[in-house]
Every structure is written in structure tokens, then in C-alpha cells.
Amino acid sequence: MIAPQHSKDPAPRGNGSSGGGACSSGCGCGSGASSTGSKEAPANLATLVEKAEELARDWRLDAVRAWKARTKGIAVGYLPVWAPRELLHAMGVLPVGVMGAGDDLEIIRGDAYYQSYICHLPRSVIELGLNGALDCLDGMLFPATCDVIRNLSGVWKLSFRGKLSFYLDVPQDFERELGGQFLRQTLLELAHELETRGARKLDMGALARSIRLFDENRALVRQLYTLRRDEPWRVLTSELYPVLRAGLVQPVEEHNELLAAYLDLVRSATERRPLDQARVVVSGSFCEQPPLSLLKTLERGGCSIVDDDFVQITRWITSDVDQPHNTGKDALDWLVNSFLSDSTDSPVRYCAKGRKGDDLVRRVRASRAEGVLLCAPSFCDPALLDQPMLQDALDAAKIPWTNFKYAENTGQFQVIREQAGTFADSIKLWSEA
Amino acid sequence: MSTTTLKPTPPAACKDRSQERQKEMIAAHFQRLARAPETGQKNVYTFVPGNLTELLLAFDALPVLPEINALQSAMRGKSREYIALAEKLGHSEDVCSYVKCDVGMLRSGNVGPTGERLPRPDLLLLSYTGCFTFMKWFEILRQEYGTPTVMLHVPYQGGGKPTIEMRDYVVAQLKKKVIPALEKATGKQYDEDRLKELLARSAKAEEDLTWVLSTAKHKPSPIDAYFGAVYYVGPIFSSFRGTQDAVDYYRMLREEVAERLEKGLGPVTPDGQATKERYRLVVEGPPNWTSFREFWQMFASEGAVVVNSTYTKVGGVYDDGFRHDPDHPLETLANYCLGCYTNLDLPTRVDKLVGYVQDYEADGLLINSVKSCDSFSAGQLAILRAVEERTGKPGGFIESDLVDPRFFSAANIKNRVESFLQMIEQKRGGGA
């Protein structure tokens, strides 16, 4: 395959709108208003949030099954934290975020796979695999997030023979000719694997169009985060979170519509009024996701979340991929370059420059937060090994913080509510801010 | 008034000559490190799996391996207080105890196993091979020391084998990042001829070690390939690969084991010469270091001999024929990094364990699952089932930790080991 040069790119760069929500990538994914009927956006906020929550709790992947039945396409799951959704989309593959089953599923067989000192996510994912919930997926990507997810790729191979289990190694060197070359090669290998499983051949023009759709997605999410930062009473995290999670099982075109509709509705939600809450950043929940009830507990405890790292795939790349300064021989290079130089700071990414915690302090300042909730899943190595460094940075910056742990199926919140409430009260009563 | 119960001092452990020699070598290394501030010799902190000892020695740099420091601290009974200090500083009880032990040691004056202070690192070589925690560990140390750090990202063998592209990526990093960082830290030029000489010596030592480990195929086995072999792999996985010391040590070890083999003797255990080999086991996972001797005795007292183990492959895997190749110095270092045990995917680990059980005619597989090490432990229950299915031999599972004594429950572990051995007996007797 000869990759098109930028100047000959059939899909010119810039202003990446896909237009009207219909799939413009020509991928045959069946997405977009005309094929799904999803243009009928919910007329009110409650209905929209209800729909988002339903999708967020769709661990049986009913939405994915429906998509496959409609399009006859293939779907591939990915675990946290980052996956090249753009590449999958360009090849006509539905990328499906697999983030466990939260508090909705009793783990029976999954516990037989993992010792008590391993986090909850892999046992939940295995349970989903064993109970057939993931049967509709034609493969799974296991990103280089930590050793548990790394080894889950092997457990998958041992347990589900014949299914694609792809370990997605990502570089910890961020130079184009070193880590960039490695990532490009890895993505081409992935594309080859997908092609052998029935995906369309990777075409750089299609990839450019897919990148623009995801750029639109990222832009909408950024707008929501900005609005929440400025008016947190308008964008409740307990709503935003399921709205983001819905995108894990939806085609990006539909998720873009959902995001846009939610943005419109909260902007015009005049009945919402400022609350006397403490402004906090939540950090540490980038992989195993907290149960929705935990976020509601934090809000009821007096905290307005103004920045977080939930569902981080939606914000891993922090700006548009398709930008004039993002050069390379083809769209795959744009994606690689963005991963190298425009990824968010994360515990799973080597901190090559500066001090750990500087980015968290910057986020606190940027969001005008009054404190930080270090909220990590139990036994999460990346988050918990980072914590002492983050705490030092916060102390040095005189930013109040507290920490607690959760599991995706945590069901008792009283202690957390008291802790968050006390933290919020202490900020309100004694903070210098 | 307080009363103190004095524990009787256990009798001194029996050791063979090679073990004494190994102990002297390691002590000498720590003394060189302690004197480094006066001698001006530079040191580089790095990790055991797939380490680049020859490259460091080519720059006359002394390797410092924090995992070794941690396990030495545990064997000296110091890890409990170090871990407690680290947890007091905010490190979670959920995470790797090697890291906490190291942080606690650092904050307590960085006193090494010989009782002398270890030098500050001149360079942190983050050889990111087979373990996610390594990245966090050196981020922590970099903040503690403010020392230059160089990352060497070694891709995981997710597809079950290393590719040319993976090797080239590692080599490119060696050339562009690691070697310049070493030149800067040591003030010396990269000398490839010197590296080749070191690699040639590595290959000699590797040949002898591989022969020694393979003698466990004999009945009775002249070695214990887990408890005894952690001493054997000490020099080659730490600071000595590439040195004449290592060549001499492994030659001596080979002669010693050859002599035992000729006499039909079993391994030397802490309580003396093993007299009867009742069970032949393969063990997966690292040992517990806080109660190492007690742990070994649980097996030795039952006549259980370990005939192969995966922990003795943690620094590098030689039993599939790999030897450092002086004709391709950087490529061979890259292949070594890529091939260490924890960088292998689970199906490959299962294949290896099945091969060990079958080739060494073992009675079963025992997994010591350590809380600290997800790289080893996550997925071990699936490994156990797969090996049992393919070999028809029983599997056992015990849980402990590397250096946190709170997670070594002697009675519970002993109970499980005995149950496992009973299961083997039952299987031998034709029981279900």
C-alpha cells in the first residue's frame, strides 16, 4: 500500500467536523444518523442522562451486538488506558472500551483467576469473558498499562483460544525516530492482525477522516470539561461520567451526537444554580473505573469535581491530532506524533522531564481547585506508586489533599462520604483560598 | 518490668565452597561501592532482569541493583523497619515491598549489607524490562537523589517471540540514549572492543551455569535448583557477568557439582547434605527472603528437591541456547534484555514450565505467589491450571511476599506444602 502524502490527501486537513453526525469515513460502519436513527437526541437532560447511564452499564454489550447485527462489521475491545481507536475505526472496526462490570456483576469464576492482592478489574473482565458477555468481540487489545493488564493478555490467550489477543506495547521513549518508529511498527502490526480477521485494509485517507471524527470527540469533551471547570453546578460529574462511558460502546459518530446534545442541554439548563461545594480534582482513577455511586457520594459529600482522570481514553491526547504542525508522511504519523508529544501526563507514562506531581499541581491551578482527592483503586500499582510523589508535590504547593481507595464494585460509601465531607468542610472553613 | 524471650540462635547453616566464594565476591563488591566516594569510581543503579552489566563494566562503572539490596536487607532482618518507614512516608501497603524496602533503606542512611554506606548514584539506568514497577521505582529514586536518569524501554514479548523490530528499537536506544548517558556519567568513551572481551567472558560463565542447572535432570539431583540456585545465579545476574571472577566462580561451581554428581550426592541444604530425594519439584515465582532458611527447610525436611525453577531465569534465560555473542555486542545485549523470564508472555511461560516438569521428571509444579510482584504473580492461577492439564502432574499454590515479613505465614505455608506433597503421594499411589 502506498500511503498518500499530505498534499494529495483525499481528505484535506483542518476543521475536522464530520458533518451532520453521519459517518464520513466511508468505512461502512453503519454509524451516523441515517443508519442508526440516533439523530433523535433526547429532548431533555434527564432522558439523555438516563440513556447514557444505560449505555455506561451495558456490560453485556447489547449496543455492540446491535451494531454488529446492523453492519455485519467486526468489533474489538480495548482495556484502559489508551488504544488507537482512530485506526480501528478507519478499518471499519468498532472500538469497544472494556472497563469491567463495575458494581453490576457478581464475580464468581473471575476470582479463581486472581489472588486477593490483585486489583478488581481483571477478575471482572475475565468474568465477562467467561459468562459470554464479550462473545461479540472479535478480539481484545491489552495496552501497556501495568503488569496486571499485560499478563491479562496472556490469560486471555490461554482461556479464549482463537480470539485475537493483542498486547499493545507503547513506547516509553518519546523521540520520533526511536519510540515513534516503534509505535508506528506496532500499529502496523495491529492493522495487519485486524485485516486477517476481516477488517478493511488500512488506508491513510480513511485514517485521516477517522482522526477528524475523534478530534471532534475530543473537542466536545474538552468543551464539557471547560464548562464544568467554570460552572461545575451545570455539569455534574455524576452525569458527565456516564456520558463519557457511553462512548465506550457507541460508534464515535453517535457519541459525538450525545456529547453535543448534552452540552446543549446543560448550557441551557437555567434551573441549575451554583452550589456551595468545595472544588476538587480527583486523581488516580484512570484505569479501574469507580462506581457511579462513588461519584454521587463525593458530590453529596460537598465536593464539586472540576478535573479528573476518569475514562481517560477520551482525553489521553490532549488536543487535536489533525493540526498543521503535526507533520509526517501520513495520517499514521500524525497519530504517532500526538501520542509521543501530546499525551496527558499519566502514571503509566514515563515522566522523562520535570518532577512528578508538577502536572497535577498545574491542573489544580488551571481548574482553580481547592483540594485534591487521591482516589485510586486498591492494588493499582501505577496510581499507588505515584501517590507519595504527588503528595509531596501537593504539600510543597500547599494544596490540601486526602486519599482513599475503592474497587469498581465498592458498595459501602459511608466512610468515603464522611472523609470527603470532612475534607470539603475543612476547605470551606479553613482554606486560605 | 518487661520480660524478653530469647530465641535460641539457630545453628550455622551448612554451605558448600561455591556458596562461601559467592558470598566473598558479593561482599567485595559492596566494599568497592562503599569506597567509591574515595576512589572516584562511578556507579550506576539499574535492575536485575535483562541487565546490562557488561556495558556498565566497559565504562568501569559499578552496578548497584536495588532488588539485591532489598533482598539482602530482608535476609539481615532489616526489611520490616524499612518498609514501615516507607509506609509512614506515604507508600501504600498495596505496592511492591522491594520498592518500600529500598526507600526505607535510603531514608535510613543507605547502609548496604556489609554495614557500609552505599554511594549516591551517578546515573539511574532504568532498564524497563519485564516489570512495570521499575519505572515508578526509578521515578521515585530520581526525585530522592536528583540524579540523571536514562530510560531503556524493552518491549514485552506479547506475541510470544522477540521481533527484529523490537531488537532494533532496543539497539537504537542503546546507541542514542544509554551509551551517551554512560559516557557523560563516567567521563569515558565507549570502547566496543572492551565490551566484546567482557561478553566473551559472559558466554563462558553462562555455559558453566547452564550445565550446572541441567544436572538436576539426574536422580538424585546434585543441586536444589531454587533455594540453592539463587546463590548460583547471584554473580551472573548481579555485578559480575563479564568478569574473570565470574568465569572462575562458575568453573569452580561446575567442578563442585560434577563431584557431587559423580558421587551420587544430593544438594547441600542449610541442615547439611540431603540424604534422600523423595520429591522432585518445579517451582515458579521468586522465593520469600525474610524467612528464606525456614522456607527452604520446609522442603528439605520432607526430602523435596527443586529440580528447576523460573526464578533462576529472572535475570536472563540460557536454557534455550542463548549466550552473549561478542561478535554482535549491542544486538546480543538487546536480545538478552528481551529474553528474560518476566518479559515472556504467559503461553511461553506455560510452555517453559511444561518442559521443565517433563524434561526434569518432576512430580509436580509449585507456585510461590508473591504479593509484591504482579509481573510474576498476575495470571499464575491460569498458568497452574494450564501446566496441570498438559502434564497431568499436580500443582500447588502458596502465597508469601518478597521482603515484607508480615506476609510470610510459616504455619500456613508449611501446611500447604505438606498438603501438596501428600497430593503427589496420592497421585503416585494411583489415587484420584
Instruction: Give B91 to chain A, closest Cα distance, Å.
Output: 6
Whether B424 is in a domain gets the answer no
Could you tell me the sign of the dihedral formed by the alpha carbons of A389, A393, A395, A400, in that order?
negative
Q: Which residue in chain B has the smallest CA separation from A357? A: B143
Q: What is d(CA A240, CA B359) in angstroms, rounded to the nearest whole number? A: 57
Residue type, B372: S
Among partner residues B133, B374, B379, which is closest to A154 by beta-carbon distance?
A: B379
- Nearest C-alpha in A relative to B349: A154
ipTM of predicted assembly, 2 dp: 0.95
Chain B: give the shortest CA distance to residue A171, in Å.
7
CB contact under 8 A, B158 and A389: no
DSSP state of A65: H
Predicted local distance difference test score (pLDDT) of residue B182: 98
Which residue of A152, A166, A169 is the best one to mutate when testing the B interface, meaning the one whose CB has the most B CBs within 10 A? Answer: A169
What is the DSSP track for B327-394?
A: TSHHHHHHHHHHHSGGGB-HHHHHHHHHHHHHHTT-SEEEEEEETT-HHHHTTHHHHHHHHHHHH---
Q: Is residue B143 part of a domain?
A: yes
Q: Using H for helix, E for strand and C for coil, what is the string for A100-157?
A: CCCCCCCCCCHHHCCCCCCCCHHHHHHHHHHCCCCCCCCEEEEECCCHHHHHHHHHHH
- Is the minimum CB–CB distance between A14 and chain B shorter than 8 Å? no
Q: Under an 8 A CB cutoff, do B151 and A350 touch?
A: yes
**A392 CB within 8 Å of a chain B CB:** yes
Contact A385 B172 (CB under 8 A): no
- pLDDT given at position B11: 66
Residue carrying C-alpha cell 507519595: A388
pLDDT value at residue B10:
61
Q: What is the mean pLDDT of chain B?
A: 95
Instruction: Determine contact: A32 vs chain B, CB below 8 A.
Output: no
pLDDT in tens, B56-70: 999 999 999 999 999
Cα separation of the two ends of chain A: 58
Residue type for position A56: A
Q: Which residues of B touch A189 (CB under 8 A)?
A: 159
DSSP state of B276: -
Is the CB of residue A153 less than 8 Å away from at least one CB of chain B?
yes
| A residues 309..368 contacting B (CB < 8 A) | 347-348, 350-352, 355-356
Q: What pLDDT does residue A4 have?
A: 31
- Whole-number Å distance between alpha carbons of B153 and A175: 12
pLDDT above 80 for B131: yes
Structural domain contains residue B302: no
Q: Which chain B positions have a beta carbon within 8 Å of A168's beta carbon? A: 158
pLDDT for res B8: 53
User: Which residues in B lie closer than 8 A to residue A111 (C-beta atoms)?
Assistant: none
Nearest to B153 among A159, A173, A381 (CB): A173
B46 vs chain A: nearest CA distance in angstroms? 16
Q: List the domain range (segments joined by +) for residue B52.
A: 17-188
Q: How many CB pairs under 8 A join A and B?
A: 154
Domains along chain A with CATH numbers? 277-316+346-430 (3.40.50.11900)
Confidence bin at B17 (pLDDT 50/70/90): confident
How many angstroms separate the CA atoms of B198 and B149, rounded? 24
Considering only alpha carbons, which residue of chain A is nearest residue B348?
A154
Is B342 part of a structural domain of the chain? no
Q: Give the model confidence (pLDDT) of B217-266 as tens digits.
A: 999 999 999 999 999 999 999 999 999 999 999 999 999 999 999 999 99
Calpha distance A378→A408 (Å, rounded) = 9
Indicate whether B403 pLDDT > 60.
Answer: yes
Cα distances from B333 to residues B49, B54, B152, B343, in angstroms, run: 12, 9, 12, 14
Q: Do A381 and B371 touch (CB under 8 A)?
A: no
The confidence score (pLDDT) of residue B200 equals 98
Q: Is residue B203 part of a domain?
A: no
Which pLDDT score is estimated for A181? 97
Instruction: Read off the pLDDT band of B5 (50, 70, 90).
Output: very low
H/E stretch holding B151: strand B149-153
Identify whether B276 is part of a domain.
no
Residue in chain B closest to A377 (alpha carbons) equals: B94
What is the pLDDT tens value at each position of chain A, 433 positions in all?
233 333 333 344 443 333 333 344 444 444 433 333 344 456 799 999 999 999 999 999 999 999 999 999 999 999 999 999 999 999 999 999 999 999 999 999 999 999 999 999 999 999 999 999 999 999 999 999 999 999 999 999 999 999 999 999 999 999 999 999 999 999 999 999 999 999 999 999 999 999 999 999 999 999 999 999 999 999 999 999 999 999 999 999 999 999 999 999 999 998 999 999 999 999 999 999 999 999 999 999 999 999 999 999 999 999 999 998 888 899 999 999 999 999 999 999 999 888 999 999 999 999 999 999 999 999 999 999 999 999 999 999 999 999 999 999 999 999 999 999 999 999 988 876 5
The C-alpha of A153 sits at a distance from chain B's nearest C-alpha, in angstroms, of 8
Q: What is the CATH number of the domain that holds B78?
A: 3.40.50.11890
Q: What is the count of structural domains for chain B?
A: 1
Predicted pLDDT at B431: 54
Interface test with B, best of A125, A158, A176 (most B CBs within 10 A): A158
Q: How far is CA B340 from CA B16, B21, B216, B271, B310, in A?
A: 28, 26, 21, 32, 10
* Residue A404 Cα, gap to closest chain B Cα (Å): 11
The answer for residues whose C-beta is within 8 angstroms of residue A240's C-beta and 6 or more apart is A224, A228, A262
Lowest-confidence pick of B12-21, B65-74, B163-172, B332-341: B12-21
- Is A385 in the B-facing interface, judged by CB distances under 8 Å? yes
User: B399, A115: Cβ pair inside 8 Å?
Assistant: yes
C-alpha separations of B335 from A33, A237, B202 in Å? 51, 48, 14
What average pLDDT does the segment B25-32 reach? Answer: 93
DSSP state of B429: T
3-state helix, strand, coil in chain A (%, to 5): 45, 10, 45
Cell of A428: 470551606
Distance (Å) from the alpha carbon of B306 to chain A's nearest alpha carbon: 24
Nearest to B151 by CA among A171, A367, A6: A171
Interface membership of A262 toward B (CB under 8 Å): no
Set of chain B residues whose Cβ sits within 8 Å of the Cβ of A387: 90-92
Q: Does A114 touch chain B (CB under 8 A)?
A: yes
pLDDT recorded at residue B2:
40
> pLDDT value at position A420?
97
* B103 belongs to a structural domain: yes
B347: nearest CB among A113, A158, A385? A158
Q: Are A151 and B381 inside 8 Å of each other by CB?
A: no
Cβ proximity of A145 and B131 under 8 Å: no
